[in-house]
Amino acid sequence: MNFFSIFLVATCFVLSAQKNHLSYKAESVLGIEKIYNKELFSMKQSLKELNKNGDPRDHYNWNKRLANLYYSQINSAPRKDKVKYWFKYCTQLLLAGENIKCINEIENLLQKQKLSSLI
């Protein structure tokens, strides 16, 4: 065998080894991507389910839903607790970024209580 033949065989061997190594890397990346996509899909489904069926009393950072919950309880609450639920409702409106709605609620309450002369 001459030098050129040995060089050619060695080059083919090295290139095939690199190709196998690159192929292995590509397969492992694709495997990781499949796992990532599966986990991402699972997380997306869990969040969708939580958002659809979650109870805002269990998730206090859901301010808008919690405000709606307190608002729905105002009319059915005993007379002594109505103001308590109204304050909870307004607080959750503020925390949800509904400032104008909260201001309107306060103004309506003051007008109902004939306290508007104090404004």
- Between 16 and 22, the more confident residue is 16
Q: Domain spans of the chain?
A: 1-53, 63-118
DSSP 77: S
Q: What confidence tens digit (pLDDT) does each residue in 25-67 have?
A: 555 556 666 666 777 777 778 778 877 777 766 766 778 888 9
- Between 19 and 11, the more confident residue is 11
Average pLDDT, the chain: 74
- CA–CA separation, 100 and 94 (whole Å): 9
Q: For the chain, what's the residue count?
A: 119
Among 104, 71, 69, 101, smallest CA distance to 86 is for 71
User: Is the CB of residue 70 less than 8 Å from the CB of residue 92?
Assistant: yes
Q: What confidence tens digit (pLDDT) does each residue in 60-78 have?
A: 677 888 899 999 999 999 9
Determine the pLDDT at residue 71. Answer: 93
Cβ-proximal residues to 116 (8 Å cutoff; 6+ apart), any chain: 107, 110
Determine the pLDDT at residue 1. Answer: 53
